[in-house]
Amino acid sequence: MGLTVGIYGGSGYAGSELVRLLAGHPEVGGMRISSRGYAGRVMNEVYPHLAVDEKFVAPAEIDASVLDVAFVAYSHGESAEAVRELLGAGTKLVVDISADFRLPDAGLYEEWYGKHPAPELLPEAHYGLPELFGKPEGRLVANPGCYPTAAVLALAPVVRRLGARVRSVSINALSGVSGAGARPSAKTHFVSANENASPYGVPRHRHTPEIEYALRRLGEVPDVTFVPHLIPVTRGILETIVVDPEELPAADEVLVWYAEDYEGWRFVEVREFLPQISHVANTNRVRLSAAVDERAEKLLLFAAEDNLLKGAAGQAVQNMNLALGYPEDTGLGHLA
């Protein structure tokens, strides 16, 4: 029969990518796709590029007790209550794509997002960056943010080896407009985003504490400067990270660190040449590289990913695969 899977928020960008991926997943036997705005409409009427004739249903119409896996693709603050209800109803595994369970405690969450709706669930959330923190355990997976996925994968091998000998870290990140979600705003309107590039979330973007928290699980690291920018592309993230170490390693040495730490992981690629968004768009891959500015004595790290796949839906499916004992690339290897 295969897995019975629920997708909550299936009409958003990340949710529709989940539908696309899970429709072709060999272990999925059936999907229930919820949308609060499109309930009753057929999926391929809303997203004609998807060959899926399932109807959207209201969230309350899904029987959560029969779900093997539920993906929650709501905004932060909305997801936590849905996760609580799903777990209470008996859903075996919940993968949350929002920020509600990424930070370790309610106090830190409140500092950046506001009051946490379900703080009692925080201790059982597994931060789902598998290349660093392994196979998800338990009932609840907190899918990492798109910017932190790229930044932490690029920085982790350096932090593990240099730790307190890193004096500063600055992340300059560029993201496609889909990262802002399907709900339109003045900033993401075509007229505002086209032929433009704009920094935002400065100086307190909400992904900053997530980046620091993940890195500090691996070693000592200073406070991180993080500046994201919106650029006029549909999907993709490119990050240039400037590290100021006490002793400057060679670029080739850093590439060896990457190769050592990510050996055997399907979706992290290490290259000598610098990555571009086009190298990873429509895939679940992160591509990493490194260079050294000897004149300024700085280490330069580079990471590119698709924000809707490795930065959201693809990584969520990867986490599901690992949690249930399937190969990590099940249903993801065909992406190109």
Band the pLDDT of 335: cuts 50, 70, 90: low
Residues 293 and 152 in one domain: yes
Contacts of residue 211, defined as CB under 8 A and 6 or more positions apart, other chains included, come to: 147, 148, 151, 152, 155, 171, 224, 226
Residues 83 and 154 in one domain: no
Instruction: Please report where in the chains the tokens 């610098």 appear, as a residue.
Output: 274
Indicate if the pLDDT at residue 125 is higher than 90: yes
Indicate if the pLDDT at residue 115 is higher than 60: yes
Secondary structure (DSSP) of 103-157: SSSHHHHHHHT-S-S-GGGGGGEEE--HHHH-S--SSEEEPPPHHHHHHHHHHHH
Residues 122 and 96 in one domain: yes
Q: What is the pLDDT of residues 258-297, one digit of tens each?
A: 999 999 999 999 999 999 999 999 999 999 999 999 999 9
- To the query of whether residue 154 is one of the catalytic residues in this protein, the response is no
Band the pLDDT of 165: cuts 50, 70, 90: very high
Alpha carbon of residue 285 to chain centroid: 12
Quote the pLDDT of residue 278. Answer: 97
335 is a domain residue: no
Residues 16 and 38 in one domain: yes
Q: What is the pLDDT of residues 18-35, one digit of tens each?
A: 999 999 999 999 999 999
Residues 111 and 175 in one domain: no
Catalytic one of 146, 154, 281, 301: 146
In whole angstroms, what is the distance from residue 115 CA to residue 122 CA? Answer: 13
Of 329, 306, 278, the closest CA to residue 147 belongs to 306
What SS3 state is found at 277?
Answer: helix
What is the share, in percent, of the chain residues with pLDDT greater than 90? Answer: 88
Q: What is the mean pLDDT of the chain?
A: 95
Does residue 290 contact residue 258 with C-beta atoms inside 8 Å?
yes
* Number of domains comprising the chain: 2
Indicate if the pLDDT at residue 132 is higher than 60: yes
Band the pLDDT of 221: cuts 50, 70, 90: very high
274 is a domain residue: yes
186 is a domain residue: yes
Buried b (16+ CB within 10 A) or exposed e, 120-152: ebbeebbbbbbbbbeebeebbbbbbbbbbbbbb
336 is a domain residue: no
Domain assignment of residue 91, given as a range: 3-143+312-324
CATH, residue 261: 3.30.360.10
Residues listed for the chain = 336
